[in-house]
Structure 1
């Protein structure tokens, strides 16, 4: 497979090795650790594959406990916590080489009518009027470094920042801790709603902590901080397709104690609020080698 969207679908197609146990691939890439969105997306697939399929997921809450090792399969153990009249609950533990690296609790809700309201979608430029992420970086750097070229070739999502990327101290001065991006899968993802939900879960971890980082340093410049996702929560409000444009609005209400909190809202092009997201991340200045313990 050469299409990154096809590779993403393949990545989310877990092998069932027991009734409640699944195994997921972990690409052997030049990364220090497995991408957190991959683990969250695969864990949600495992949870969803143990339900009868007529109840879409409405929320998930997860913790990243240890970094995953690229190239090593991850085993997902599912606990069938509850099968009620309206709600189904699953708990998933991700294990790699005998160690728990991640856990997730997901709740599935049978669709039913109720009252409705939502906040309006912000007014932003249309995605077609904005440069692709790689082109926006090339405009500043002239040519992408090899690491970014590899990332661009394997990237399953087209990402377009609503605001121009900031590169200098002058541009960063006074920048508010918020960011917005248009995203969609770079190719079709099929028609399984669970695949689209898990693909968007994968994508939701890609840029959310941008909102914390923006006042500190350029998003795509040299990184002066150790960054890692600590936990992740999502609430799914309405059906969607991850291979159609969605707007991901992100902001950070606070950063303190080497941690930053970010929250996001995901809208479709018609302005419907699809998903709400919260995440806390580690933001620790690089330690000098002689001070590391």
Structure 2
């Protein structure tokens, strides 16, 4: 396990300070605010720790309400909405400085047999043939707003081996193309077998690149090149089948719409052997500076 992954696992290991109340530390991401994927993953950890062990997360719906302060702890309050025979529902509010910054609703289910079908996995290059972030990003250093961006991105993503299947937005500035992007990802080391841990780490990674396809459609590079201002607004995930976050997952992303200063990204995450593991939808602020 890499030191960065060990640090991330520590970040997700919340302190329980009262029944249904947890506290997590926070840290700066690529930009000087708390990374949205961190808050979503920590909130899911808090919810999961109040759920019977035979139930796994099958969906989450969330809203990012305020910018998180990386210099302050985050308190997560869990509301035990319902414990049914098959499903458990939890609501989590993340608070900093006395104000809510994030809201999550999550549902958990006991395993049961049912109807089976899925969308076919799209074609994608083998992840082992693609360059690692530390090999790829320095090629585009001259396109970023300043030289420190490469180091900040590498530091923020050091716990995850994330590989672009095509050119990222910051490599395609001024050249609009199909609003679709693919990345392969896995954690930088093996994980324990706890299903909740794998779901939370996939949630963490899911906020990293989902709106890339919005930028590609317009030939924009994002905040890294200074031609777009963006932030996540909401985030939803459905966990269809078991998976491991320490094994390669294909994140196939596209954008069906952008309007009103917002862009929508939707995606499917597949295991390397073609099983549809997760569906994701996110809307974010996508503004052109004036």
Same fold (TM over 0.5): yes
Q: Measure how far apart 1:8 and its partner are.
A: 1.2
Q: Measure how far apart 1:178 and its partner are.
A: 0.8
Q: Measure how far apart 1:84 and its partner are.
A: 0.3
> In structure 2, which of residues 143, 147, 150 is the aligned counterpart of residue 148 of structure 1?
150
Structure 2 residue 279 is matched with structure 1 residue 250 = no
Point out the more displaced range, 30-39 or 262-271. 30-39
Task: Give the structure 1 partner of residue 89 of structure 2.
Answer: 89
TM-score (norm 1): 0.92
Residues 252-271 of structure 1: per-residue CA shift (max 9 Å, x gap): 00000000111010000000
Q: Measure how far apart 1:30 and its partner are.
A: 7.0
Structure 1's unaligned 5+ residue stretches are 288-293
State the secondary structure of the residue aligned to 2:282.
strand
> In structure 2, which of residues 190, 202, 215 is the aligned counterpart of residue 200 of structure 1?
202
> In structure 2, which of residues 266, 269, 279 is the aligned counterpart of residue 266 of structure 1?
269
Native 8 Å contact 1:5 1:188 kept in 2: no
Native 8 Å contact 2:30 2:153 kept in 1: no
Residues 190-211 of structure 1: per-residue CA shift (max 9 Å, x gap): 2221111101100000000101
Residues 133-171 of structure 1: per-residue CA shift (max 9 Å, x gap): 23222234489933322431342111111113463556x
- Aligned in 2, Cα 1:36/1:12: closer, same or farther, shift over 3 Å? same
- For 1:14 and 1:245, how far apart are their aligned partners in 2? 26
Q: Measure how far apart 1:278 and its partner are.
A: 0.4
TM-score (norm 2): 0.93
Residues matched between the structures, number: 285
> In structure 2, which of residues 183, 188, 191 is the aligned counterpart of residue 189 of structure 1?
191
- For 1:192 and 1:210, how far apart are their aligned partners in 2? 30
- Aligned in 2, Cα 1:152/1:207: closer, same or farther, shift over 3 Å? same
Residues 185-229 of structure 1: per-residue CA shift (max 9 Å, x gap): 111222221111101100000000101111231358513121000
- Aligned in 2, Cα 1:42/1:221: closer, same or farther, shift over 3 Å? closer
Task: Give the structure 2 partner of residue 228 of structure 1.
Answer: 231
